[in-house]
Structure 1
Amino acid sequence: MLVHYNQTSDILYYEVLDIPLPELQCLKTLKVAFHHATKDEVVIHSIRLSKNSTISDVITDLKTKVELSNPDAELRLLEVFYHKIYKIFPPHEKIENINDQYWTLRAEEIPEEEKNLTAQDRLIHVYHFMKDPNQNQQIQNFGDPFLLVIREGETAAEVMDRVQKKLRVPNEEFAKWKVAFISMNRPEYLQDIDAVSARFQRRDVYGAWEQYLGLEHTDTTPKRSYAANQQRYNFN
């Protein structure tokens, strides 16, 4: 036990379990970062359920642990990797094969505007980005990605007005932001009068993260406060 890759150690680490090992082996533990609807604080919760449980079971358990904006709020679970949303988990999916070691599992409330979408409405991905001058202006994403409803014919100016209110960005700072339609990592900057929905008509893209609305600005947003096990830690 003390020999690993032909190297010998004189330290043996162990963990004291709170339940018998056979019982623990039948369970799955997921670390879920809960993003509050109106606060910048993120609380990381450990959800431990049977391996046969579903995403719906995770959300039910999480609701007993988090502070909601209202008692009837609905939650969803997202898979986030390198500041992009790669998946919205369906409620019936089993949790047994979900990996939270490399991908971040993020839970959040579903905004009211997303609950009654029409055939003309689109739910798009919105990511923050900036260009790296040292790598031929290659795009680098940062910050917290999010989903946003865009209406048929809605202009870039109208969308950006809603984005500013959603993110609570001061006018002076927001005036420096640019908005672009990004496909395959290539930005196409939008003018105020451009219809955003017209850029999101293709249905044959591999994944939603390949086409998104990009917000170009410097990373001046304050670091979120993270809490785990009800003890707060700040991650820089």
Structure 2
Amino acid sequence: HSRIFSEHSRDLPLIRLQPSKSLRAEEVPPDELQVGPNELVVYAAHFNKDTYNQFGVPFTVKIRDGEQFSALKSRIQKRLEVPDSEMEKWRFAIVSSRGPNWLENEEQTIVKLSYFKPEGSNNNRPYLGLEHVNKIVKRPRIAYPEKPIKIHN
């Protein structure tokens, strides 16, 4: 999958993890090690046109309550090393079970921790969606090395 659904603590025995789940381990970025009372680490995922069409490597990003969205976008751009010309084409949304809530006006939009509170009885957390074209070339699931040759007598 190209989305983070949950995190596990370091002291959780591997035997207790569900074998049907895909797991990924990564180093926590230094700025996410300390999280203050007005900060939250949220999940982020790439998608193209539809939030169900996710791709790439999901990641986490720390947000600060009341910060301008333009500052958050700038941090993400720097972390992912996206050129300005490409970043202009990206759109951002807070994605919940109800769908995407688009963040349109970067300079006037303020990030609030409440946007990312778990919802419903299953505690699904909204995540930050990055909508842009998937530039990774898709390979067919089945390799077709060559076409068969027909011999007519």
Query: Aligned AA for 1:158?
Result: A
Q: Out of 90, 94, 109, which is 2:27 matched to? A: 109
Q: Out of 30, 36, 39, which is 1:118 matched to? A: 36
Structure 1 residue 87: deviation in Å? 2.1
Secondary structure in 2 aligned to 1:141?
Answer: strand
The gaps in structure 2 that reach 5 residues or longer are: 139-153
Structure 1 residue 197: deviation in Å? 2.0
**1:44-83 to 2 correspondence within 5 Å?**
82-83=1-2
- The answer to whether the 8 A contact 2:118-2:126 is kept is no
Query: Aligned AA for 1:180?
Result: A
Structure 1 residue 186: deviation in Å? 0.8
Matched, 1:94 2:94: no
Query: Aligned AA for 2:132?
Result: H
Structure 1 residue 198: deviation in Å? 5.0
**1:197-236 to 2 correspondence within 5 Å?**
197-200=112-115, 202-205=117-120, 206-208=122-124, 210-221=125-136
Greater per-residue strand proportion: 1
Query: Aligned AA for 2:14?
Result: I
Separation (CA, whole Å) in 2 of partners of 1:222 and 1:148: 26
Secondary structure in 2 aligned to 1:187?
Answer: strand
Q: Partner residue of 1:194?
A: 109
Structure 1 residue 199: deviation in Å? 5.0
The gaps in structure 1 that reach 5 residues or longer are: 1-81, 133-137, 224-236
Secondary structure in 2 aligned to 1:87?
Answer: coil
- Aligned CA distance change for structure 1 residues 98 and 203 (closer, same or farther; 3 Å): closer
Structure 1 residue 172: deviation in Å? 1.2
- Aligned CA distance change for structure 1 residues 201 and 143 (closer, same or farther; 3 Å): closer
Q: Which protein, 1 or 2, shows the higher relative CO under an 8 Å CA cutoff with sep ≥ 6? A: 2
Q: Partner residue of 1:182?
A: 95
Structure 2 length-normalised TM:
0.77
Separation (CA, whole Å) in 1 of partners of 2:119 and 2:99: 17
- The answer to whether the 8 A contact 1:122-1:149 is kept is yes
Secondary structure in 2 aligned to 1:188?
Answer: strand
Query: Aligned AA for 1:215?
Result: L
Secondary structure in 2 aligned to 1:158?
Answer: helix
Q: Partner residue of 2:73?
A: 160
The count of aligned residue pairs is 135
Separation (CA, whole Å) in 1 of partners of 2:98 and 2:135: 22
- The answer to whether the 8 A contact 1:139-1:185 is kept is no
- The answer to whether the 8 A contact 2:39-2:113 is kept is no
Larger radius of gyration: 1
- Aligned CA distance change for structure 1 residues 160 and 139 (closer, same or farther; 3 Å): same
Separation (CA, whole Å) in 1 of partners of 2:11 and 2:37: 24
Q: Give me the CA root mean square deviation.
A: 2.3
- The answer to whether the 8 A contact 2:44-2:58 is kept is yes
Query: Aligned AA for 1:195?
Result: I
Q: Deviations over 1:51-95 (max 9, x none)?
A: xxxxxxxxxxxxxxxxxxxxxxxxxxxxxxx21112211122121
Structure 1 residue 111: deviation in Å? 1.1
Q: Out of 47, 53, 61, which is 1:140 matched to? A: 53
